[in-house]
A = this chain, B = another copy of it.
């Protein structure tokens, strides 16, 4: 359980009382109670209010709101308020403003206008954190800490001179000797050899493609720089309030931050989910994948949906509302994938500022509205779900997710502009269509819980990662990887002698050359034992066997007849290699067969494609979530499942009927 102070499914949202007169606060309390709110995030953008002038603090208003919350039995997820510095910081410390690769400064007027290596920002944010922690450490409303907010969402890289200096320090720690850096970065290319550390700069705007290893190290350095900010606040909080859980809100696939690294510093993972209601099932699958990823960051511990929109957002070009029922459905989707809390941005729709057209739990039009009604309905329903708290999502399949591989894969001047997440999604989506639960795992993470590990587009492979795969397969695991995997080491240096050098023995193949497909080109593949041709796209390559057997071959082009899909048996295990992107249906069938072989079964078989089913388990009970993602009623056969639908309170067995966007949570003991 995330905190024993609040042994319920968290329900609430970002609360910004400083934007409203105090007269509104009392109405807020009444409405929060009506809606069943038990937790609010406060103070996220309050720095300027808490420290209106440098060193001059004002906590009186926050005292009042914290007391009011306590009086109303609502807990606070209290922010460290460092997400957006007050205007005076930029005036006192112009060098604290971040700079892009062209040297353009980002000015105040929005939010997050700080260089992550700014000493002034860091010391003042730390001081504010310290004062907040000391002042509220014993406050009865305080349930947990919310560090900063969506770290790096707008400024994930800064290229200023301060960062340049810190980068050199970081590089010295990493490489020790300048010649080691020269070797790692391959600076013999294009006359880039450094003779002293102080010649090194961030990968600023250059005449053409920058050194890729320099770019990759800069992404690592920036991830580490921002992480240092988080650690610095976390350490202060841990010292002053050792018993309180802390988190910072993540953003799903967000590329710049290696969340596997970050999650270790947090007590629980929380994240912000904003699918576009105007898009279809692919957007639903994306949300599911993100929930699974967030759950996986701390080994399956429950996470919190820290922000979602009650209805429309404001930052897309066209921002459509969530039609009736969709907000509820997507909330249950989060719970189904392992969340123990559902919160929103934000409590009350703002009147002013850049997000005034973002929906609130209480809309501009007030409490007598559709949106607030749906909020209330959900808040009360959730009280029936305390049983799911701390249950886990059992998964026998994992997909490898490696931020470093992604950073490197998506650098410039590659054979083709492959997108890492798109490659993962091809396999994730197929598993989701099969309704088989998936975890994500780091390449050096623990593969032992899984029967099947998929590692699409794992471009950068470290020695430890290759060893991990090798041991997993040797011990009987089934492994699958795809084209353009295992190409480079951690310095983005190509491993010569036939790709993918470090995985060659496991896969039983080596690749001689690649044939990336221009947009629109499609190829065909002949599956052995079948007469039909299968379509493929994105990529082809010339594969040679060194142990594997061929399951399918390319059927056109100058390498027709050469392997497109192979299987290698190693000890107890097996390793598949996909040399192209197969059409969706083929991938689905391939994974279905593999799962059938491995006796990995979905909770329900052969259900309509718009139905999602998920299971959460704890020793005493299993919970089957059945989610209808269509706006039409659906009927689902429950097969072996029997129990009670916690939402309706009725027995569930045999056939389940779900209304449009309907949900059932069947407890089976």
Residue interface mask A407-438, B partner, CB < 8 A = 1 = 00000111111000000000000000000000
- Complex: how many Å from CA A132 to CA B25? 64
Interface status of A23 (Cβ within 8 A of chain B): no
- What DSSP secondary structure best describes chain A's contact surface? loop
Segment of A362-370, A386-394, A463-471 in the binding face: A362-370
Q: Is the CB of A365 within 8 A of B514?
A: no
Q: Which residue of B lies closest to A517 (CB)?
A: B318
Q: Is the CB of A350 within 8 A of B189?
A: yes
* A interface residues, tally (CB under 8 Å): 117
Interface status of A198 (Cβ within 8 A of chain B): yes
Task: Give the residue of B109, B210, B355 whose beta carbon is less than 8 angstroms from that of A206.
Answer: B109
Q: Is the CB of B497 within 8 A of A365?
A: yes
Q: Is the CB of B321 within 8 A of A514?
A: yes
Residue interface mask A213-227, B partner, CB < 8 A = 1 = 110000000000000
Q: Is the CB of A413 within 8 A of B109?
A: no
Q: Is the CB of A108 within 8 A of B369?
A: no
Q: Which residues of B contact A511 (CB under 8 A)?
A: 365
- Complex: how many Å from CA A206 to CA B111? 8
Residue interface mask A177-200, B partner, CB < 8 A = 1 = 000000001111111111110111
Q: Is the CB of A207 within 8 A of B110?
A: yes
- Complex: how many Å from CA A88 to CA B365? 58
Q: Which residues of B contact A196 (CB under 8 A)?
A: 88
Q: Is the CB of B371 within 8 A of A513?
A: yes
Q: Which residues of B contact A191 (CB under 8 A)?
A: 45-49, 81, 83-86, 111
Q: Which residues of B contact A53 (CB under 8 A)?
A: 195
Q: Is the CB of A199 within 8 A of B91?
A: yes
CB distance from A340 to the nearest CB of B (A): 29
Q: A86-B195, A516-B319 are in contact. Are A314 and B207 (CB under 8 A)?
A: no
Interface status of A242 (Cβ within 8 A of chain B): no
Segment of A301-309, A472-480, A487-495, A644-652 in the binding face: A487-495
Task: Give the residue of B49, B104, B188, B515 whose beta carbon is less than 8 angstroms from that of A103.
Answer: B104
Q: A19-B186, A46-B191 are in contact. Are A364 and B494 (CB under 8 A)?
A: yes
Q: A46-B191, A513-B370 are in contact. Are A201 and B107 (CB under 8 A)?
A: yes
Interface status of A569 (Cβ within 8 A of chain B): no
Q: A110-B207, A208-B354 are in contact. Are A48 and B84 (CB under 8 A)?
A: no
Task: Give the residue of B108, B110, B207, B497 whose beta carbon is less than 8 angstroms from that of A366.
Answer: B497
Q: Which residues of B contact A323 (CB under 8 A)?
A: 557-558
Q: A104-B103, A199-B88, A352-B491 are in contact. Are A315 and B186 (CB under 8 A)?
A: no
- Complex: how many Å from CA A1 to CA B654? 89
Q: Is the CB of B207 within 8 A of A98?
A: yes
Interface of chain A residues 367 through 390 with chain B (CB within 8 A): 369-371
Q: A106-B207, A512-B363 are in contact. Are A87 and B414 (CB under 8 A)?
A: no
Q: Which residue of B lies closest to A542 (CB)?
A: B370
Q: Which residues of B contact A243 (CB under 8 A)?
A: none
Most buried by B among A196, A203, A353: A353
CB distance from A537 to the nearest CB of B (A): 12
Interface status of A78 (Cβ within 8 A of chain B): no
Q: Which residues of B contact A515 (CB under 8 A)?
A: 320-321
Interface status of A275 (Cβ within 8 A of chain B): no
Interface of chain A residues 308 through 354 with chain B (CB within 8 A): 311-312, 314-315, 317-321, 323-324, 349-354
Q: Is the CB of A364 within 8 A of B496?
A: yes
Q: Which residues of B contact A213 (CB under 8 A)?
A: 352
- Complex A-B, nearest 8 residue pairs according to Cβ-Cβ distance, in ascending order: A186-B352, A189-B353, A154-B207, A110-B206, A209-B354, A48-B193, A107-B204, A87-B199
Q: List 9 A-B contacts (CB under 8 A).
A: A87-B192, A87-B199, A112-B207, A113-B206, A354-B412, A365-B513, A366-B498, A369-B512, A371-B513
Given contacts A88-B196, A107-B201, A211-B354, 15 further A-B contacts (CB under 8 A): A48-B191, A52-B193, A85-B191, A87-B194, A87-B200, A109-B192, A111-B208, A209-B354, A318-B416, A318-B417, A320-B518, A350-B494, A365-B496, A365-B511, A369-B512
